[in-house]
Amino acid sequence: MPKDMKNTGSSSTSNEYKNEATENFHRLCQLFVTICGELLREVIRLRINDLRLKLDEYEKVLKHICNASQRKILYPNSEDKQTDLKDMDVSLLYILLRNICGIPAPKNGWGDKQEKSDLSIGACIDRIRVKRSVLFAHAYIGTIDTDSFEHNWDYLKKNIVEIATECNSVETYEEKVDELYDCTLNSSETKTCLEIIIKMEEEMKMDLEIKKEIRHRLL
């Protein structure tokens, strides 16, 4: 699972892409995994003073809605192992933000269809979650055309900036997003982000299969 990634790219790193669509996809992956992940962790830290205490308080709820790998991160078997936000991907961070951080639900409730006029932190967080499907849809192809890239980049940046107001760090995150947009991608960082995206997709597919099996048994 991801650790905080402070260096999303480096202008001194040589990493030429023969295909612009591949570079687009890799850059979008890094935006989602690194900057979005870092921001969501910051919101959780701002709203929860004692993460362990809060997780224990909501243990029954979280164990019900999380998959096996997520439960292992939140509730490790070993008493020596500490639960750390740095070990959590965006999918798990979203679960915590929605369920234990006291964030009001968006106007339309938590879900896929948020009103454009709703700039609440809940709506913006939900939009980032929804954009996860864009990356999942391209994960094994590994490309995204320039028009789609620009649209998704601007869309994510807008919601990142809105969420950053919660942390009084708008300028910081605007700079992070702009720097990642212009920098030469770090090949090692890119590989890590791709692995995280693919892992999240596989876990989501597995969850869907388990839910289908449970429904089938109940029929």
Domain boundaries, the chain: 20-218
Instruction: Count the helices and strands in the chain (H runs, E runs).
Output: 10, 0
Q: Check residue 212 and give its pLDDT.
A: 54
Structure tokens at 210: 């388990």
- DSSP letter assigned to residue 11: T
Stated as kind and residue range, the H or E segment containing 27 is helix 20-30
pLDDT attached to residue 196: 86
Q: Which residue has the tokens 């409730």?
A: 109
Q: What's the CA gap between 85 and 164, in Å, rounded?
A: 18
Q: What is the pLDDT of residue 5?
A: 45
Q: Closest Cα partner for 106 from 91, 127, 120?
A: 120
Q: Exposed (0-12), middle (13-18) or buried (19+): which is 127, by Cβ within 10 Å?
A: buried
Reading the chain (219 residues) residue by residue, the pLDDT tens digits are 444 444 444 433 334 566 899 999 999 999 999 999 999 999 999 999 999 999 999 999 999 999 888 999 999 987 767 889 999 999 999 999 999 999 999 999 998 788 889 999 999 999 999 888 777 777 778 899 999 999 999 999 999 999 999 999 999 999 999 999 999 998 888 888 888 888 887 777 666 555 554 454 444
